[in-house]
Amino acid sequence: MYAVIRTGGKQYRVAPGDVIRVEKLASGEDQGSSVQFKDVLAVSSSEGQVGRPTGETLVIGRVLGEGRGDKVLVFHYKRKKQYKKLQGHRQPFTAVEITEISVDGHKFTSEGSRSYFIPGAKKAAEPAAAAAPKKGRKAAAAGEEKAPGEKAAGKKAAPVAKASSAAKKGTAKKATAATSKKK
């Protein structure tokens, strides 16, 4: 059983138990409150049978929360005029779980709960990732210690100090002076 509803200028195919992101609903809608979609465009009771709703048709959902979508970058550019403008936009949404579709007095509900997106759940998972130990070269240099006498992996030995160019020139002059006296 599914229905096609219209809300926020968009159309959604929904079934009981589905979670959809609709355009942000009125601010009076709190998390856990019920919302009704009365603008039902089509109803299907089985696969391959779609029709216009006759009589009283209603889709009922439960608000899971509100959030903001991914950032969309808007870039305006005019060539040869040194004009560039970059602007970001995040569209607000309301996450709704469809709980019931009511057609002519018959109610269709979901069999069991499905996994769904809850806005704000991502923020709770981030601190756990930050507490995890870091991997890589920087972590090895920062926290891990090596045993005494053990060489660091992947590093070359320090180069041998070379004599300065002034010292080389001085010895070269002495050597030429000694050879000239012998002649």
- Does residue 135 lie in a domain region? no
How many structural domains compose the chain? 1
- Does residue 74 lie in a domain region? yes
Tens digit of pLDDT for each residue in 70-93? 999 999 999 999 999 999 999 999
- Does residue 88 lie in a domain region? yes
Taking the complete model, does pTM exceed 0.75, yes or no?
A: no
- Does residue 62 lie in a domain region? yes
- Does residue 50 lie in a domain region? yes
- Does residue 48 lie in a domain region? yes
- Does residue 6 lie in a domain region? yes
User: Which domain does 93 fall in, by range?
Assistant: 2-114
- Does residue 175 lie in a domain region? no
Tens digit of pLDDT for each residue in 2-60? 999 999 999 999 999 999 999 998 867 788 889 999 999 999 877 777 888 878 889 99
For the residues of the chain, what is the DSSP string, one character each? Answer: -EEEEEETTEEEEE-TT-EEEEE---TT--TT-EEEE--EEEEEEETTEEE---S-EEEEEEEEEEEE---EEEEEEETTTTEEEEEEE--EEEEEEEEEEEETTEEEE-SS------TTHHHHHHHHHHHSPP-SHHHHHHT----TTPPPTTPPPPPPPPPPHHHHHHHHHHHHHHHHHH-
